[in-house]
Structure 1
Amino acid sequence: MPFLANGQGELWLKKYQTARNYFNAENPTAVSDSIAKALFTEIVESEPNPLIPDTIFADAYEKLGILYLIQNQPGQSILLLQSGVRFTKEKALPDTLLFASYLYLGESFFLQNQVDSSLHFLDLAEKSLMGKQDQTDTGRLYNSLGVIYYESGNFSQAVNYFSKAKSILLNKSAPEQPAENQYALMSLLSNEAAAWTNLKEFDKASALFAEALNLDVETPEIEKKLTSLYVKKEEPDTALIYLQRAWNDSDTDNRLYQNLLAEIFLLKGQPDRVTGLFDSLQEATSAAPTGEEPTTYNFRGGKSYQLLGKAWLEKGEYKKALDSFHKSLLYFDESFTQADTFQNPTPGNVNWGMTDLFETLVLKAKSARLLAKETNDVRFYDLTFETFQVAFDLVFYMNNLYDNQEARLFLGEAIRAGYESAVLAALERYEQTNQPAHLIQGFLWAEESKASALELAKNEARIKEKAGIPEELLQEEKALKFQLTRANRRLMENYAPEKAEELETAVRDNKLALSRLYASYNGFDTYFIKKLEAERIEFSSLQTLVNSGNLAILSYFMAEEDVFCFTLSPGGLKLAPPQKENVVRETIQALQANLLESGGKNRNKLEKQASAAYDQLIAAAYPHLKKYRSWVVLPDQLLVHLPFEMLIDADGKFLVENHALTYQYSGKLLQLDSNPVRSTGQAMGFAPFTADSNSEDTGSFNLLPYSELEMEALGGKVFTGNSATKTAFLNHSEDASLIHLATHAVTAQDATANAYIVFSPSEPDHLLRDEELYQLALTNTSLVFLSACETHTGKVMKSEGLISLSRGFSYAGCSNVVSSIWKANDKATSYLSRDFYRWIAKGYGYDVALQRAKIGLMEDPEMAQYRHPYFWANLVFIGNPTSKSTFFSSRSLFWFLFIALTSIAGWFFWTKKGKPKLSL
């Protein structure tokens, strides 16, 4: 501290030191804070004052802003902290002095529900931290970021931030921690546990809560969160035990207590007790009671109205339910002030409890639908569809805000039920009105609910190239992804328990580094804005697609107990009669089990099952589909593993005999490709387990003697045996126009981290794991042909569909993939592959080429033993249809012109020779 020259200066210094002493009191009280606030106020109000150093003014603004924040006055805190920031910049003081101001500005804006501003200042805090030697409060920064991610519904990333803050605190704390550190640790443990609770990882949450309880600090606060855990687990009796422990009888008018009790009553099927509990809620105002944070109160008020609405819904009081849900929205979204029930908020900013906001919108839409049925008032039908759409617009915003696939997959599963309700509402209205608009809306919502994480990844990759993001940041992203992949692999391969924590920390820190990098991308306006402006699914585009390609789309959607089939063709959109989901499931499971158990031998029972599946899934729609040779199938849930080409029609023929089938994860991803076979780049083939492989050790993997023959007609560069290494693949794949992998693969139904593709064991690292696929950039690759076993199988998610190795290649940017649903026969696969490439060389699209290869195998007398669907139905084409079933390749065009010109020349010669000359 510089010396102050005279008595007045010393007086100011004494005031400042006294204020700091009260501010840093070991046991602060309202009185000590009040004295500190008065002294700091006196200092800042004396500006400008040459007797006071600039650094004291800057510190006084900061400390005063923090004191107002502690006293739940975030608005006043923001004014003072921003004044301090301006002063620091005007006086050209070091930016490192601004860390605390930025941090507390972030927290203050968050308490005012201005989360975009909050994130901005927290990002500035993190940047100023880089050059700061004293990194006190770093843990608080990561905790604040964790809270924001938690409130936005990104619970998986919130876990990482809370865990990071916890590790920082533990590294800095002495063995005997002071009371404030014990309290901070309890808070971080319970925050992380709450995030795991929302992810439904209850065992992890319970372990963290137990650790927090052992600290013997603020036990009632932990018990409140344990109440929420058991509510989430739907164990109301245990939840009630913790609720009663957490509150004294004198505190039971607390809003949080009432909300938890209401959730318990609802779990017990006691809606009357909920409406009784909230008797006075109709008179409640939005003003916060004394001593409670405004935003917290508003959120809890919104939750109360949401729970009241649920109770009225159970009691069949739909108008009261609708009114309650609308009032809930007014609390959840402070920018929304329309008391009119027929109005809805406009998504576009981060709010407290965004997942609760979505749930309330869906519940409001359901109430409006039930009220419309009860009153036959068309206004409530309109409100139903409008409210559902607002809910899905909010989901779109949230998904674009999220920075990792894990969070998007979790959100997709959480909101799937909302889409099911919306589709059913649209179809119900279509039955009533027969208006195509309602059928179209149901179809669009059905497809919008699928594969959102995959769609967003493709959009981001496309937008990122044109968003003006510096190349060094893109390279940093690539390096971080590589480090994360390596850290994940080390963690997965670790067998030493003592190293687990160290490896988990490395994975977490890499995820956080990527998170902060992606947050910086949002600073480029064009990037985030273009993500939000990305084209949503449009019916007119899909209608143009089927018209131009003269093809048909079959879209399947499961809701409640039914399987719905939409068909879109040049003849328009139609809906087949729904089928019972349990009946379809039984048929498909029996078909799949019989197919795999048969081993390609017994066909009688299989053909009956294939006919039954056709009757349930295709027959009713077939009259509208029959004349279209090319079909695009958009499966849902259990149908993702079904090869439709093996279903048997009413004439006893496999569908593949008359139709070329393309599969796609969602209609959102469909586009018409006029010429998928691009000439740029080189075709690449990899066959590490050929019959003449030089490898002395193939590990546990058998040789595939026909694998090299698969690529006989491929052209390009083929790597076989020891040359077919993972390194060669990584070095060449991103420049390849076409990639063929004739090798082994391993997948798992419930743990895709164990899925991988096998390259030559001549390298120690010869397994290409599924997560590594997500780091590739295959936008230049027209097709990946995966003849390896079971590359199109894996975990099936309700919203995202199939999480498989084949999806990994789609995620990496390749639009077209041929993949295998079950273990492939080496010889049959080799035949199909060779024939596939021959048809491609003749100018056919991928879908027709695969169809003709399968027909060729069934008709070839030399392959008679492989006619069973077991040998050919496993290979499916996932991608985009072509605008024409055939087109000329350069070779076929040459021969066409040669034959045509030869014929013309011959005709001309004949006429010249055979006709008499005319005399003059």
Structure 2
Amino acid sequence: MLPAYNNLGNITTSSNLSKLINRWFLLFLLLFYQHSPGQGPEALLSKYSEALAYYESENPSDYTDSMSMVLFKELLHSGAELLEDKIKLDIFEKCGNLALIKGDLKNAVVYYRNGLEIQNSDSVNDTLFFASNLFLGEAYYLKSQADSSIFYLEEAEKLIQQKSSLTEASRLYNSLGVIYFESGNYVQSVTYFTKAKNLIIGNRSFDELEPYFQYALFSFLSNIGSSLIQLNRLDSALAIYHELERYGFNRDQVYTQMTGIFLDKSLPDSALNYLEKITSEEFKESPSFQNQRAEIFLQRHELARAKDVLQSYLSRTRVERTGSSNFRLGRSYNLLGKIAFEEGDYESAVKYFHQAMINIDGYFDSPDIFKNPMDYSLGFATFSLIESLVDKAKSFVKLYESKQDPKFFQAGRETFQTAFDMAFFVSNYYDNDEARIFLGDFVLETYQYAIETVLERYELDRDIEYLTQALEWAERSKATGLNIGIRERKLKKISGISTEKLQLERDLHFSISRIQQAILLESNVDQVALLQDSLTDKRLELSRLHNEFNNSPDYVMGKLNYLPLDIPFLQKELLDRKTIILSFFETESNFILFLLDKENIDLQVIEKSDILNHEIQNLRKNIIGYKLGQKYNSGAEGMTLFNHLFGKAYSRFEDYPNILIIPHGNLIDLPFEVLESKNGQFLLYDHAITYQYSLQLIGKIDLKSIEKAKNIGFAPFFDHSWSDEQVQLSSLPYSGEEITYLKGTGFVGEEAGKDVFLDILPEAEYLQLSTHAIPDPQNPDLAFIALFPGNIESRLYTNEVVNMDLSHTSLVLLSACETNFGALSRSEGALSISRAFMLAGCQNIISSLWKAEDKATAYITEAFYRHVEKGNSFSVSLRKAKMELLADPAMAQYHHPVFWANLVLVGNLNKTKLFIPIYLYLFLGLVPLAGYWIYHSRQRRRQQKI
């Protein structure tokens, strides 16, 4: 991590530790410290001054460093008791810096820790301990001790609030950015690198800066570029590195980053073009350079050349191939494993991937290839470690296929599970939804491979264990961010986090939303820049608050408690004999359909094809592309797609009146109600359909009678319209009628403003929003529901919705356009407005897949509430309401599916005596045991590391 403004390229490519130390920055930082010698003996003060003179030499050398270290040691050994505490602290800090410069991490840590022991002294201002905490955190980073590094950097972050030094704060935020980067939280790393840049660079261009700050700008932008590469925003990263190439600093490093971008794009010839621009012979001996050379040959299928590059390099470094840990060589062994895998030498591949894990992990050192890391504490290079685990698992599977030894198949299953467990653990440590979604998408491909692997074994052995594991993995891969977000909300309530901190969290979310709205309104470039800076500050403040939440043992225990998906429990306790679950899972080659009822699990594999994709697209087109007066063509795509997706499986569930569907992949926004079991016979006619994101979220709740509940409706555009340059919000004359069907408190027109909504929301047990909604697939946070009058200030954005507390709300009916539409995540599904309401705690949401028609929606709404009042479940009530519409000759012009198939229910199963969802039931039972053990074992590990 050192130097402060050294970038990630240097961090990850240099094998010479001294290259990591930007020595002149350490000297520059000294200018921010004021020394008061105190009243010690004159000789000691003279020696201290002499040591400082050597340390702060204008032309530092090994000689000046050695002389200053000798003098500092003499002061500590022979006169420490006569020195003021602030001087002792300064000496320990400088000795630590000198040790760090020489690569002596062990002694650097000792010196910094000795200095921090003075912290209990009343004679030293707390802010003077900032640097020691910062440098100690960086030293632990270089020792690959993640927990300790994070701890001391967070201590420094607490102290920076009391200091006014922009340079020190900038260094700290850059260091924290590196920590987030190395732990895989690339979204947050961009925020911290941006903050570090803003503090000392501001909006100044490169040409306006002094040389020192030019280098700092270069490093910040390079770090941001590295994060963008990991987020797969390759073109944005490439634009940054083209700009950095112009700066003239560290061009070799720029070229290696550009090489990596083209490797990520699978363009090995372009990658080679930039790699060959590197001129430094020392740089060419770095692990990064050699790995990139090898990867270029690997992508060009020149396996022998790739292997020769790596083996030659490893032999030159004289590193033992087993039993040694060197983080920067982990990639080398991983590439050797990939080469062996391509060659069909799976036994060697397993060994190479295992050795890669040893080098990457830092703590795991077992030579036994059947062992995997079991310490899931947050570490550096998380993604690299998960990648090696996955590759090792795949190699075990191939080894089983070639040797037919069951132990290899079992080893592959266990290694896949380790990778999934590790991803789950890390995702729980992330403090934002975007990072969790990114990790979920990253791991999804592995889930696909693993699931197809165990299902192939199931087809051979018919062992229900394999089928059950495939189903569990499929559901674990879905909606991870949503599941964790819902769990976190519950944990915050029961784990002792103060109401003041929870309110502060809500306030920060609200501030972030307000700033984003202001950015949308602002046209002045300079003002936008200031608002962006303010937005970064608020996000950092929110990140610090989330770190404080992690000081609650109960909260940490709950987050780390891995809950296996108990499918037998779900069948026995949650499913009744009238309900079946149809869960889809999309792999590279198939759709897998799991059928789960109270007693059995069944399977159907649906081969993906261009024909199937065409059928799905045509069905959507024929519905959404409706033109006035057009008749729906029944018996066409709806019937063809039904046969393609279900085929003979329909006989398995045609007698179930209630179906819960968990779509996946290309089926995410498919209205299954319009599929036809025979010509003109929609599924709607025979089945009440509920949708859900994952089995992890399924539970049962005892719903409060709608007649006794507090029902609240909003219709801001009943007799009002709004338009600006971005949106046009027409009047919705039937919306006022819609909310009267709820038989509660209604707010119409100018009564239905945002302030009124936020004030009354805590009372809502049934909530209806009959209004406009605008999705934003490019930026889901900026999707919104419009309240009166419709301007930016009155819009309810999804990032505000997420922070509301709707755990008391039985149902939200979003009678608004496209509330179940949004950007698609491969693992998470649609990042829609309705998903935001589920994150806020509501377990049952009716929303729209496409633009809704006012009159038809009002008709369905009235019928829906009427059937709910009679005691029907939400799914049955929605089905009956749609059936009434289709049977009503007076509404014949609205019988086309475009008018009714858009409304879908995402929610739980029918009413039961079990009042809590499955994940919470298991959580409450297991926390006292598993959570207690995990928390205290982590504390023991931390103490051992420290």
TM-score (norm 1): 0.91
Q: Deviations over 1:632-690 (max 9, x none)?
A: 10000221211111111137421111111100111111112233657775111111222
Q: Does 1:147 align with 2:178?
A: yes
258, 275, 278: which one aligns with 1:246: 278
The secondary structure found in structure 2 opposite 1:715 is: coil
**Contact 1:16–1:39 (8 Å) recurs in 2:** yes
Q: Which range moved further: 235-244 or 393-402?
A: 235-244
Match in the other structure for 2:495: 467
Per-residue deviation, 1:696: 9.6
Contact 1:143 1:162 (C-alpha < 8 Å) held by counterparts: yes
Secondary structure, in 3 states, of the residue corresponding to 2:813? strand
Is 1:43 paired with 2:71?
Answer: no
The residue aligned with 1:906 is: none
Tell me: CA distance 1:186–1:749, structure 2 relative to 1, closer, same or farther (3 Å): closer
Structure 1 contact 371–380 (Cα < 8 Å) conserved = yes
CA displacement, residues 449-499 of structure 1 (integer Å, 9 cap, x when unaligned): 111111111011000111211222212211111111111122233333333
Q: CA offset at residue 211 of structure 1?
A: 4.0
Structure 1 pair 248–702 and aligned structure 2 pair: CA distance change class (3 A): closer
| 1:199 aligned onto 2:231 | yes
**Cα distance in 1 for residues equivalent to 2:591 and 2:790:** 49
How far apart are residue 148 of structure 1 and its match?
0.5
Residue 230 of structure 1 corresponds to 262
Paired with 2:208 and 2:75, the residues of 1 have a C-alpha distance of 37
Q: Greater Rg, structure 1 or structure 2?
A: 1
Post-superposition shift, 1:187? Answer: 2.3
What residue in structure 2 maps to residue 860 of structure 1? 888
C-alpha contact 1:577 1:620 (8 A) present in aligned 2: no
Asked if 1:627 corresponds to 2:655, the answer is yes
Give the letter for the 1:165 counterpart: A
1:790 is aligned to 2:818: yes
In structure 2, C-alpha distance between the alignment counterparts of 1:783 and 1:756, rounded to whole Å = 19
Q: CA deviation at 1:413?
A: 1.6
Q: Any unmatched runs of 5+ in structure 2?
A: 1-34, 916-946
Paired residues for 1:4-15 under 5 Å: 9-15=41-47
Paired amino acid for 1:705: P
Structure 1, residues 244-290: CA drift from partner, whole Å, max 9, x if none?
Answer: 2224457644322111111211222222222122235786889699x
Secondary structure of 1:385's partner?
A: helix
Alignment of 1:420 onto 2:451 = no
The answer on 1:277 being equivalent to 2:304 is no
Counterparts of 2:489 and 2:522, CA distance in 1: 32
The equivalent of 1:395 in structure 2 is: 423
Q: How does 1:628-647 map to 2 (within 5 A)?
A: 628-647=656-675
Counterpart of 2:224 in structure 1: which amino acid?
E
Q: 1:518 to 1:864 in 2, by over 3 A?
A: same
Contact persistence 2:606–2:645 (CA under 8 A): no
Alpha-carbon distance between aligned partners in 2 of 1:331 and 1:243, rounded to the nearest angstrom: 25
* Partner in structure 2 of residue 26 of structure 1: 58
Greater relative contact order (Cα < 8 A, sep 6+): 2
Check the 8 A contact 1:299/1:352 in 2, yes or no: no
Q: 1:383 matched to which residue of 2?
A: 411
After superposition, what is the alpha-carbon deviation per residue over 1:820-842, rounded to whole angstroms, capped at 9, x for unaligned?
11222222111110010011110
Supply the AA of the counterpart residue of 2:769: L
Amino acid in structure 2 at the alignment position of 1:443: L
Q: Size of the alignment, in residue pairs?
A: 876
Q: Which residue of 2 aligns with 1:489?
A: 517
Q: Which residue pairs with 1:339 in the alignment?
A: 367
Equivalent in the alignment of 1:74: 105
SS of equivalent residue, structure 1 residue 67: helix
**Letter of the aligned partner of 2:100 in structure 1?**
L
Q: 1:651 to 1:883 in 2, by over 3 A?
A: farther
Where in structure 2 are the equivalents of 1:457-856 lying within 5 Å? 457-533=485-561, 535-548=563-576, 550-599=578-627, 601-603=629-631, 605-650=633-678, 652-675=680-703, 677=705, 682-690=710-718, 693=719, 700-761=728-789, 765-856=793-884
Check conservation: 2:721, 2:731, Cα contact below 8 A: no
Pairwise CA distance, 1:536: 4.0
Compute the displacement of 1:433 (Å). Answer: 1.0
Distance 1:704 1:409, change over 3 A: same
SS of aligned partner of 1:765: helix
Q: Is the 8 A contact 1:671 1:881 kept in 2?
A: yes
> Does structure 1 retain, via aligned residues, the 8 Å contact 2:147–2:379?
no
Q: Please tell me the residue identity of whatever aligns with 1:873.
A: A
Distance 1:47 1:840 in 2: 83
Q: What is the CA-CA distance between 1:324 and the residue it aligns to?
A: 0.8
Secondary structure of residue in 1 paired with 2:81: coil
Question: Match of 1:495, SS?
Answer: coil
Question: Which whole-Å deviations, capped at 9, do the CAs of 1:47-86 have from their partners, x for residues lacking one?
Answer: 5432x32222111011101211222222211111111111
Greater shift, 458-467 or 188-197, is seen at: 188-197
Q: Render the CA deviation track for 1:603-659: whole Å, top value 9, x for unaligned.
A: 463431111111122233212212221111000022121111111113742111111
Among residues 111, 117, 126, which one is paired with 1:95 in the alignment?
126
Show the 5 A alignment for 1:287-326.
Answer: 298-326=326-354
Contact map agreement 2:586 2:592 (CA 8 A) in 1: yes
8 Å contact from structure 2 (residues 310, 336) kept in 1: yes
The superposition leaves residues 670-722 of structure 1 with CA deviations (integer Å, 9 ceiling, x where unpaired) of 112233657775111111222xx377999933322222222333111011122
Which residue pairs with 1:208 in the alignment? 240
Cα offset, 1:530, TM superposition: 0.8
Q: Residue 688 of structure 1 contacts residue 759 of structure 1 at CA under 8 Å; is this kept in 2?
A: yes
Matched, 1:355 2:386: no
After superposition, the Cα gap between the structure-2 partners of 1:445 and 1:656, relative to the gap in structure 1 and judged at 3 Å, is same
Query: CA separation in 1, counterparts of 2:249 and 2:390?
Result: 39
Secondary structure of 1:708's counterpart equals helix
Is this contact kept in 2: 1:347–1:390, CA < 8 A? no
Q: 2:117 is matched with which residue?
A: 86
Counterpart of 1:115 (choices 143, 146, 166) is 146
Superposition deviation, residue 135 in structure 1:
5.3
1:139–1:489 distance in 2 versus 1, CA, 3 Å: same
Unpaired runs of 5+ residues, structure 1, are 888-920
Task: Give, in whole Å, the separation in 1 of the partners of 2:117 and 2:314.
Answer: 45
Q: 1:383 to 1:679 in 2, by over 3 A?
A: farther
Residues 789-798 or 252-261, more deviating:
252-261
Measure, in 2, the Cα distance between the counterparts of 1:597 and 1:242: 48
Which is worse superposed, 617-626 or 664-673? 617-626
Q: CA deviation at 1:87?
A: 2.7
Residues 759-788 of structure 1: CA distance to partner in whole angstroms, max 9, x if unpaired?
Answer: 222777332222222222211111110111
Amino acid at match of 1:67: L
Give the CA deviation at 1:729: 1.5
The one of 219, 235, 245 aligned to 2:251: 219
TM-score (ref. length: structure 2): 0.88
Identical-pair percentage: 36
Label 1:3 to 1:841 Cα distance change in 2 as closer, same or farther (>3 A).
Answer: closer
Q: Distance in 2 between matches of 1:681 and 1:247?
A: 74
Distance 1:652 1:579, change over 3 A: farther
Deviation at residue 131 of structure 1 after TM alignment: 2.4
Shift of 1:363: 0.8
| Cα pair 1:697 1:761 within 8 Å, conserved | no
3-state SS of paired residue (2:378): coil
Q: For residues 26 and 230 of structure 1, what CA distance do their matches in structure 2 show?
A: 42
Q: Give the alignment's Cα RMSD to 1 decimal.
A: 2.7
| Deviation at residue 178 of structure 1 after TM alignment | 6.0
Q: 1:529 to 1:281 in 2, by over 3 A?
A: farther
